[in-house]
Structure 1
Amino acid sequence: MSDPSADPFEALREPVRPVDPDPIFAERLRERLRRALLEPTGGIMTTGTIIDRPAGAATGEARLHTLNAYLTVDDARRALEWYPRAFGARVLGEPTVMPDGRIGHAELAVGDSVFMLADEWPELALAGPRARGGASVSLYLRVPDVDAVVDRAVREGATLDRPVADAPYGRNGVVYDPFGHRWMIITPAPEEAAAGPRLRTGDIGYVSLWVPDVERAAAFYQAVLGWRYQPGSSEQGRMVEGLSQPMGLWGGREHRTLMPCFAVEDVHEAVRRIRDAGGEATEPRTEPYGRVADCTDDQGMAFAVFEPGEGGRAPADRPRHGEISYLTFEVPDSARFRAFFGHVLGWEFVRGRVEDGWEARIDGTPVRYMVGLQGGHERPAVVPMYAVDDIDVAVQNVRAAGGTATEPSRESYGMSSYCSDDQGTRFYLGQH
């Protein structure tokens, strides 16, 4: 029988013994906190402070936005010193240090944005880029002076991937930080200068170069035109970066051609017109850049139509080195082509300089890109002309990379050479 005079709370006076949390539980808890704080009414989480403010509130303070970067690094303590030195980042609060000494969570601010980082956790399949064989994403950092930031980052140990250069959308360069993350650093161009004219119905908003082997094509055009790439939506895709014209490579295609994507005001209406004119079109689907449908015309030429939205802009009027300056549509029957695209896109046509050649117009002005048409070909194909700064050097580069190129000839618009790459894809070079 127990002693009735004993204190029933005596057991609660035992010394408190701290218990290390289970790492998986700790990671799940951090993830729940991150998700909670990323709701529209959330704010910044640090180990010291939570700052709540309405979403979109006008403030110069750094805050979590709808999408934020969370980096895994192989030395978080070094990273917390390096990012402030290289990019002027500010460490927010105190990092969360786990019992084994690793940094479990830390936050830094750059400008008005917050990014987070933690050490590697192999037991949770969290590893930095170097452990995985390279970066799979790029971080896009806007700064007032890209030259100064890139120079400082390189002095602090970053690896220069692409030197700072001017582009229509701003002056930019690319570095890899010491932890393997890829940073695209840019000083944006003034909005008026960066934004080209709006895409009209019938303008070309995107092109995809179809090739058998995408790796060979990427290497060839990098050697000839200096193209650089980002991964596409699949292993067969590559996005060409740094051009004013959205462009990609698509492998696994035996028919070597360029597939154009035309801007339209209403993709559903465009699909109806395509089918009425004897072509084929998939049902429209929604992509990040707008609603799109894949199509073929009544002679078997592949193309797409899409609604570009408010941000859709036409390519620069004067193409830079490596950009498309002209597209030639080779088709079996030019009259059928003119009837089809006149009905679908409202194109008008004027006679060109060659037999059965035509120039495409929208309301009396050239289609963007400039488009020509020639009938009498066995199979439809689209052949691009790429602008180059020095056609003699470009021809040498084509041949050195395994392609073929005619000797440059003088045309009314400048110097030209007819070429094919090392897989037989045809193109022109033009020095205008």
Structure 2
Amino acid sequence: MSEVTTAQPPGTPTWLDLGIPDLDRAMGFYGAVFGWEFEVGPEEAGRYTQCLLRGRRVAGLMPHQDPDATEFWWNLYFATDDCDATAATAERAGGSVVTAPTDVMDEGRMAIVRDPTGAQFGLWQAGAHLGCELVNEPNALLRNDLLTRDPAAAREFYRAVFDYSLDGDPNMPDADFTFLRRPDGHEIGGIVGDPSAERPGWGTLFQVDDVDETVRRVRDNGGTAADPFDMVYGRLAGITDPFGATFQVGSPGAEA
């Protein structure tokens, strides 16, 4: 099911948002690429903007808090049923808490954590805001993978924090890739080891109907895109938005 009507199980990627220097330009770009509509919040809430698909939340946009910022990226939040306890577990596992657990009105409770390899992510304990209300369908979140130079440390950290199982991928024997699965067996993403990675971080993959057409819309609306390519799990393309934030788009294949 792509519709989410209750809080996701702990350890599931549940929300993502992006801080950018020009909210209007961002809405124009992502609206053209994904067909999203937008619900702009009030000034006192920092104009935090809900990105909507068929009226349901799929992501968030907000003006960046640092006017001098030059780097922008999609922020990933994992579901938890106890934000404080999960943040404490992350510290014991070798991570650091960047933003201590705090309430976001009645929407939920959040924290920002950095793992031992330097990758940053959020925790989200749902209140009135469940997180993404549509996933695993075109123009919504499909999956997230961590790119890091130290996959061994990352595997141990995320297993300790979220009780993931760690499995290799027989379909990609030449890649340093590990599937991450919740205790119920549901795959939530993976860890990619790459010694040449410039910055460790969680990547975001949005599903689309037609990768080539999406690439055309990206290029026509101020973004840049690598040429699409086929791999064992489908057809993919790397995208950079007008502010330099990167993500991927993909159409799953038969093996996905």
- Contact (CA 8 Å) 1:204, 1:260: kept in 2 or not? yes
Alignment partner, residue 328 of structure 1: 145
Q: Report which of the two structures shows the higher radius of gyration computed on alpha carbons.
A: 1
Say whether residues 1:407 and 2:227 are aligned partners.
Answer: yes
CA distance in 2, matches of 1:417, 1:209: 20
Alignment partner, residue 96 of structure 2: 280
Shift of residue 204 of structure 1?
Answer: 1.7
Say whether residues 1:304 and 2:129 are aligned partners.
Answer: no
Alignment partner, residue 79 of structure 2: 263
Please identify, of 304-313 and 276-285, the stretch whose mean Cα deviation from structure 2 is larger. Answer: 304-313
- TM value normalised by structure 2: 0.80
CA distance in 2, matches of 1:401, 1:241: 19
Report the CA distance shift for 1:375/1:214 in structure 2 as closer, same or farther (over 3 A).
farther
Q: 1 or 2, which has the higher strand percentage? A: 2
- TM value normalised by structure 1: 0.49
Q: Tell me, what secondary structure is at the counterpart of 1:224?
A: helix
Alignment partner, residue 57 of structure 1: none
Identity of aligned residues (%): 25
Shift of residue 328 of structure 1?
Answer: 2.2
Which sections of structure 1, spanning at least 5 residues, go unmatched?
1-167, 169-193
The 5 A counterparts of 1:414-425 are 414-425=234-245
Say whether residues 1:394 and 2:214 are aligned partners.
Answer: yes
Deviations 1:290-346 (A, max 9, x none): 2222222223322222322598477556x2321111222112211111111111111
Which sections of structure 2, spanning at least 5 residues, go unmatched?
none
Of residues 380, 387, 403 in structure 1, which corresponds to 2:200?
A: 380
Report the CA distance shift for 1:315/1:412 in structure 2 as closer, same or farther (over 3 A).
farther
Larger RCO, structure (CA 8 Å, separation 6 or more): 2
Report the CA distance shift for 1:305/1:293 in structure 2 as closer, same or farther (over 3 A).
same
Deviations 1:253-286 (A, max 9, x none): 5333221111122222112112212222243222
Of residues 214, 222, 238 in structure 1, which corresponds to 2:49?
A: 238
Matched letter for residue 62 of structure 2: W
Q: Tell me, what secondary structure is at the counterpart of 1:306?
A: strand
Shift of residue 400 of structure 1?
Answer: 0.8
Say whether residues 1:429 and 2:238 are aligned partners.
Answer: no
Q: Tell me, what secondary structure is at the counterpart of 2:100?
A: coil
Report the CA distance shift for 1:264/1:410 in structure 2 as closer, same or farther (over 3 A).
same
- Contact (CA 8 Å) 1:348, 1:364: kept in 2 or not? no
The 5 A counterparts of 1:49-198 are 195-196=4-5, 198=7
Which 4+ residue blocks in structure 1 deviate beyond 3 angstroms?
Answer: 194-198, 210-215, 243-246, 309-317
Alignment partner, residue 219 of structure 1: 28
RMSD of aligned residue pairs (Cα, Å): 2.7
Deviations 1:142-180 (A, max 9, x none): xxxxxxxxxxxxxxxxxxxxxxxxxx7xxxxxxxxxxxx
Deviations 1:336-380 (A, max 9, x none): 11111111111222123252212111125234xx41221232212
CA distance in 2, matches of 1:313, 1:398: 25
CA distance in 2, matches of 1:268, 1:278: 16
CA distance in 1, matches of 2:143, 2:251: 12
Shift of residue 402 of structure 1?
Answer: 2.2
